[in-house]
Amino acid sequence: MSIRITLLIGTAADLKLYLPVIDEALKTNRVSISLIVSRGVSSRLKLPYDSKLNPFHKDLQVVYIDNNNEISKAVFFLKTDDLIVSSAPNEQLYELKKNSKVRIFYLQHSSDIISNWPYLYQIRLINLFDGFFLFSDYWKQEFIRELAVNKKINRLYSEELQEKIFIVGFPELDQVNSFNSDHIKEKYGLEKNKKIIFIDPLPIVKHVPNAFYKYYFSINGTWMNKFKQILINLMYDFSRKNNTKWKIPYYLFEIIKEKKIPRYETIFSELREYCDRNNYLLICKSREKNNDPVWLKESCDLFKYDEGYYPFTLLELLYVSDAYVGFNSTSVLEGVYCNLHAKLFHVYPVEYQYSKYGGNVFQYLEGCTTKTESWLNFKEVVETKSWNKNIENLFSILDVVENNKDLHNYKDKFLGFNDGLSSKRVIEKLKKL
């Protein structure tokens, strides 16, 4: 009996997660696969035609939708048996589940299932899923624990939920097992005999309601430029209906009282100098929506946006790097999978948060930075630096021995598998259910 699988693409980034699954499905007997794509995404990616971003476009049936209200119509048109999504539950999926026999599965790609689902979504919406494909048992246990705390689920529901959770690993990472370092360095024009530090840049955006991040850490350039950025951010915040914005002047005063707190620009400058002293290369993969400052783009030895998702530009550059520097991003998981040790900076301190955002995401991230064995703080593999610490002797991470036991333990705990077969596990599980 054949099954018809459909992948729902709501953002461009979904492609990096789905393409390995598509590849596996196309090689599997009695499995057909199709896509439902937001028209806003397709207009930017030219999905059916751009073979670099989607190398399987000729082998896929694609249906475009203008909004989520059209999901059900598209699913029925494609005669879908199993719908896979990487997004949070919503009312449109709930209605689809209520009015059809389509099975709906969630495919993990971030920490959202722990950091905001238990805070933002009702149990009835979480219940719409027939299954959850998660990285490892760690995420399974944390998901259930957060639901028990925030939704007061009982033991019976917990046991039923556990039966719907399948540990498969991280499909996006399957492609890494076929990478060749020399080929990638030649592709991007990187010198083969130099060590490389990868910096995952800080997104500079207006909507994050954290005074330290928004009014101090990310502010850069001349004093005039800093003043302009602060003024723009203030205008944005005070145009919003949010009473907590009146706390911003108090927060600014408290931040100014602190001594020698580094800014983003300072940390990057220190990193650039460290690389120059040691004859290392400094490379960066960003996204246009990050609004990266000119000084970062021009100072890196290589600065790239995504040129492809299969192979994925980010993973290729991580694979040839020797260390990772970043800011509480789940990309650190991808970095460690590529055998990198990481130095992170926690720049969203909850004491300077003046409005709710993303459920409990900032509280969750801060909690992970203080735990002894979390994906943001794990022995010598990943170390998170507090926002109010100095940065002397900061970038000695390349001295750590590669492929040590702790690194493998990190992979086992947070990524589940290291065999390049995660996509195969997803397809095989769907065939058996």
- Tell me the average confidence (pLDDT) per consecutive run of 10 residues in the chain, 433 residues long: 90 86 94 87 54 77 89 96 94 94 96 92 94 97 93 88 96 96 97 94 92 91 89 88 77 76 88 91 93 95 92 96 91 95 90 85 89 89 75 57 79 95 97 91
| Cβ atoms < 10 Å from Cβ of 299 | 16
Residue 186 sits in the same domain as residue 145: no
CATH number at residue 427: 3.40.50.2000
**Is residue 408 domain-shared with residue 392, that is, in the same domain?**
yes
Asked whether residue 243 is domain-assigned, the answer is: yes
Report the distance separating Cα 337 and Cα 208, nearest Å.
29
Short-list 170, 109, 184, CA closest to 419:
170
Q: Is 374 in a helix, a strand, or coil?
A: strand
Instruction: Say whether both 82 and 14 belong to one domain.
Output: yes
Same domain, 53 and 95: yes
265 and 284 belong to one structural domain: yes
- Residue from 282, 284, 336 nearest 305 by CA: 284
* Residue 403 pLDDT: 56
> What is the sign of the dihedral through the CA atoms of 180, 28, 93 and 72?
positive
**The two three-digit tokens of residue 134, written as one number:** 């998660």
CATH of the domain at 265: 3.40.50
Q: What are the CA-CA distances from residue 315 to residues 129, 136, 175 (Å)?
A: 29, 20, 9
Q: How far is CA 30 from CA 3, 4, 424, 430, in A?
A: 6, 9, 14, 12
| The token pair that represents 127 in the structure block | 């219940």
Number of folded domains that form the chain: 2
The per-residue pLDDT for 155 is 87
Specify whether the CB–CB gap between 416 and 168 falls below 8 A: yes
How far is residue 117's CA from residue 83's CA, in Å, rounded to a whole number? 19
Looking at the structure, do residues 382 and 283 belong to the same domain, yes or no?
Answer: yes
Same domain for 264 and 363, yes or no, is yes
70 Cβ partners below 8 Å, 6+ apart?
A: none
Amino acid at 54: N
Same domain, 287 and 339: yes
Residues 122 and 187 in one domain: no
42 & 123 share domain: yes
Which domain covers residue 367, as residue numbers? 180-414
Residues 109, 136: contact at Cβ < 8 Å?
Answer: no
Whether residues 19 and 95 fall in one domain: yes
* Residue whose entry in the numeric block shows the structure tokens 């550059």: 317
